[in-house]
Amino acid sequence: QIYFRIIVLGDTAVGKSSLLRCFAEGPGGGGVGAATPCPTVGVEFYSRTILLPPAGKAKLQLWDTAGQERFRSITRSFYRSAAGVLLVFDLTNRASFEHVPEWYREAAGDRPPTFVLVGHKCDLAAERVVSVEEAGHLAATLGMAFVETSARSNLNVELAFQMLAGGIQRALGQGGLTPHQGCGGIRLIPGQSRRRPPARGEPRERCQC
């Protein structure tokens, strides 16, 4: 099994938390009947293990980041250790789409992680202000895949994360990304599920993120 650290970026109120909850907890977590989540403060954490074709599993450690500018200094520290980024905009909010290149530049750094562009709230067809063609063109320009999703309708939510995990796997195979020791964005997980507790007087390992 392998571990991928994934962050979800985008403007505030584009539906990042709903998308993540729908994926991590099932449709009830962010879909029909779910209360509108409050804006994320700093970073929230989820995890889920998925099947990764052709034969394997990946544990996704999912970080939900705040979109507000005042939390940017907190969330920025997580960019460097991410193996993949879901870059989310709201199909009914033109400004959130126009901010995508800015989010991309901020998260890409020197060694860009794998990106997937997500146009969220596609169930609100009458209110959309960004076309499939326009979003697809931007994604191609930035060198990433594009998918439209709806947490409310549970549409393509699973697909978005599978696309990202598959992209990370391909980058690994091509040598673009490498597993890290410690607490990097990609880590090989030993088959043994239990670890020996430290003996008396033996220092515990500390994550140096």
Whether 101 is in a domain gets the answer: yes
Cα–Cα dist 101/106, whole Å: 9
Q: Is the pLDDT of residue 193 over 90?
A: no
Whether 196 is in a domain gets the answer: no
Residue 207: band (very low, low, confident or very high) from pLDDT cuts 50, 70, 90: very low
Whether 168 is in a domain gets the answer: yes
Whether 33 is in a domain gets the answer: yes
Residue 173: band (very low, low, confident or very high) from pLDDT cuts 50, 70, 90: confident
Residue 82: band (very low, low, confident or very high) from pLDDT cuts 50, 70, 90: confident
Query: For residue 31, what pLDDT is reported?
Result: 44
Q: Is the pLDDT of residue 194 over 90?
A: no
Q: Is the pLDDT of residue 192 over 50?
A: no
72: Cβ–Cβ under 8 A, 6 or more apart, which residues?
Answer: none
Chain position carrying tokens 């439209």: 148
What's the pLDDT tens digit per position in 127-150? 999 999 999 999 999 999 999 999
- Tokens in use for 190? 């030993």
Task: Determine if the peptide bond prior to 179 is cis (ω within 30°).
Answer: no
Whether 201 is in a domain gets the answer: no
Average per-residue pLDDT in the chain? 79
Q: Is the pLDDT of residue 162 over 60?
A: yes
DSSP character for 120?
Answer: E
Whether 31 is in a domain gets the answer: yes
Residue 85 structural domain: 2-188
156-182 mean pLDDT: 82
Beta-bridged to residue 59, according to DSSP, are 3, 49
- Tokens in use for 24? 């991590």
Whether 204 is in a domain gets the answer: no
This model's pTM is above 0.85: no
Q: Is 152 helix (H, G, I), strand (E, B) or coil?
A: coil
Whether 48 is in a domain gets the answer: yes
H helices of the chain, where?
16-25, 72-79, 94-98, 100-108, 132-142, 157-173
Q: What is the CATH number of the domain that holds 182?
A: 3.40.50.300
Number of structural domains the chain divides into: 1
Q: How many Cβ atoms from other residues are within 10 Å of residue 96's Cβ?
A: 25
Query: For residue 190, what pLDDT is reported?
Result: 55
